[in-house]
Amino acid sequence: MRAVAVHRLRRLALDQLEMRLLDRIRLIGHEVGFGRGWRERAVRQRFCGALLRGLRTWRLVLLRLLTLRLFCRGGIDCGWALRVGPVHTLLASPRCCIRSLVAPSPEVRQGTPSAVLGNPRMTFVQRLGAAARLIDQRLSELLAECGPEKGERLAAAMHHAVLGGGKRFRPFLVVESAALFGMAPEAALDAAAAFECVHCYSLAHDDLPAMDDDDMRRGRPTVHKAFDEWTAILAGDALLTLAFEIVARPATHPAPATRAEIALVLAHSAGGRGMVLGQMLDLAAEKRGEPAVPSAEHIRRLQALKTGALLAASCEAGAVLAGAKSDERAILRRYGEWLGLAFQIADDLLDAEGDAAVVGKATGKDSTAGKATLVSLIGIAAARDELAKAVREAERILAPFGDQAATLVEAARFTASRGN
């Protein structure tokens, strides 16, 4: 009995130490800007130096026990650590380890999100597609881990709402905004997935007969068409809740304060001062004729809330996740706001001019329904000008980051050129 108790206590203590050490390694990674900058020799050397200094305080015997397993579970893009070997090797021969870190083998990194998105030859669209596949994979895992049991009707409806289409633009923005501040894509994937869950819930509800009454979404039947209305409502509810469960999980970020901050950013953008209020204004204009003649200002506000809020929050969340400074965070937010405006004008233009087969949802509905859009107020040509202006503003705001922000600049341009 006593031996079992002692063994359990020892295991518990080890688990605790392991978790603390893991957190420490992750934080060191964040502090030295580990992630996007990992290819730079100086970043890796800084990481190693900080790691070695941090580890010196730990007992060697424990470090031996933690070994490679710890590195591999770290989730900090340490595929290259596989070549380093056990932690005690790192301690015993730091120089040799640093040398091996400086030249990570491609085969070790192959298949990791960093490797997939680290290919400099990819075009923007290829990059967005590659990120979408990574997000799909993570969403599917998270649904299996945290969603209802497989076989439940609710699980199938959530699956339908989330998987099988979608550009994954919001999670892409989370990942790319985090990358701007040196975070590896794998470290941003969970938070990114949470933003997509909120987006997918909003689409399932937006398509309901009581709202936009749509039958097609992403080239497939909408959730209430594939299932029924009450299932679509409940699947949406569960997705919204799941988003916050994902954000709260330690796997999303090692620092509880950062997770709380992400939850705050997400909640604020999705709720009654954000997307839901925007949807209220959108439907009040359409169904109640309020206001009787919506002004351009009213429409911009409505669109900033219903669409811009979550997009801006995705950019801001990436910055928060990667530990950006408050002024950098504010830049990302402003960029996301212009991007959001552009995104909804483009959506309205696609509704007015797009081909339903390409867009993946019914088109030509906004004017019939009497939606308050800039297209209906100022016409297609002027709306195009507004769209171009919003894209230019988004680009201009990123100027302080220079070439580092090239992908986000392209993301802004993409909002205007997209075909769905």
Q: By Cβ distance, which residue is nearest to Mg ion?
A: 212
Shorter beta-carbon distance to ligand IPE: residue 253 or 361 = 361
Six-digit token pair at 263? Answer: 């939850």
Please say which residue, 190 or 206, places its beta carbon nearer to ligand IPE: 206
Of 30 and 333, which CB lies nearer to ligand IPE in the complex structure? Answer: 333
Q: Does 415 bind ligand IPE (CB under 6 A)?
A: no
Q: For residue 347, state whether it binds ligand IPE (rule: CB under 6 A).
A: yes
The nearest distance, CB 284 to Mg ion, in angstroms, is 12
- Please give the DSSP secondary-structure letter assigned to residue 306: I
For residue 274, state whether it binds ligand IPE (rule: CB under 6 A).
Answer: no
> The tokens of 247 are what?
């954000």
Instruction: Provide the token pair at 192.
Output: 């990114």
SS (H, E, C) 32-93: CCCCHHHHCHHHHHHHHHHHHHHHCCCCHHHHHHHHHHHHHHCCCCCCCHHHHCCHHHHHHC
Q: How far is the CB of 108 from ligand IPE (least distance, A)?
A: 33
DSSP 396: H
* Cβ 378 to Mg ion shortest distance, Å: 17
Binding mask 280-319 for ligand IPE (x = CB under 6 A): --------------------------xx------------
Tokens of 211: 């709202």
- Per the structure block, which two tokens stand in for 379? 């016409």
Yes or no: say if 87 and 64 are a contact pair by the CB < 8 Å rule: yes
Q: How far is the CB of 367 from ligand IPE (least distance, A)?
A: 12
Q: Which residues bind Mg ion (CB under 5 A)?
A: 206, 212, 347, 351
Work out how close the CB of 137 gets to ligand IPE at its nearest, in angstroms, rounded to a whole number.
16
Segment contacting ligand IPE (CB under 6 A): 19-27, 105-113, 165-173, 285-293?
165-173
**DSSP of 158-209, one letter per residue?**
HHHHHSS----HHHHHHHHHHHHTT--HHHHHHHHHHHHHHHHHHHHHHTST
Min dist CB 202 to Mg ion, Å, is 9
Give yes or no for residue 275 binding ligand IPE (CB under 6 A): yes
Q: How far is the CB of 22 from Mg ion (least distance, A)?
A: 43
* Selected binder of ligand IPE within 166, 182, 274, 308 (CB under 6 A): 166
Q: Does 88 bind ligand IPE (CB under 6 A)?
A: no
Q: Which is nearer to ligand IPE, 127 or 218 (CB)?
A: 218
Residue 258 binds which entry of Mg ion, ligand IPE, none, CB below 5-8 Å type-dependent? none
Nearer to ligand IPE, 112 or 303 (CB): 303
To which residue do tokens 């939606």 refer? 371
Pairing of strands 216-217, 220-221: antiparallel
**Residue 279 binds ligand IPE (CB under 6 A):** yes
Q: Is 28 in the site for ligand IPE (CB under 6 A)?
A: no
What's the burial of 2, exposed, middle or buried (CB within 10 Å: 0-12/13-18/19+)? Answer: exposed
C-alpha torsion sign, points 141, 145, 148, 152? positive
Shortest Å, Cβ 341 to ligand IPE:
11
Cis check: omega of the bond before 291, within 30 degrees of 0: yes
Give the binding range for ligand IPE (CB under 6 A) out of 96-104, 200-208, 246-254, 290-298. Answer: 200-208
Residues 6 or more apart from 261 whose CB is under 8 A from it? 320
Cβ neighbors of 179 (< 8 A, separation 6 or more) are 35, 36, 117, 185, 188, 318, 322, 407
What residues line the site for ligand IPE (CB under 6 A)? 166-167, 169, 199, 202-203, 206, 212, 214, 218, 275, 279, 306-307, 344, 347, 351, 361
